[in-house]
Amino acid sequence: MTTLNSFFIEQEESSWLYALPTYQKDIVAELLSSNSLEEVAVAWLDASVGNTSPFSAQPQSEKKYFKLLKIEAHKLLCGNPEYAL
């Protein structure tokens, strides 16, 4: 049985790009050549959440999307009751 942790550790970094459309894959690959994974994730999400963030009508100068996404992913992967069926 494969554990969740080994699934993430044993993957090639570039294998995650295969899920993206080619035009996004090329942009992310270029960003990865000179930035950390987290910096690339922030840049990619900030550039692609124009229609979903901010979640209110008020303009937000602070970009929280990546931080909130990490919190929700942690809750999902760690069995938080909010994600129980």
Residue-wise pLDDT for 14-64, tens only, equals: 677 888 899 888 988 899 899 988 898 888 877 766 655 555 556 666 677
**Domain coordinates of the chain in residue numbers?**
18-83
Distance CA 78, CA 85 (A): 14
Selected residue with higher pLDDT from 68 and 52: 68
Selected residue with higher pLDDT from 11 and 52: 11
Do 25 and 17 meet the contact criterion of CB atoms below 8 Å apart?
Answer: yes
Distance CA 46, CA 41 (A): 8
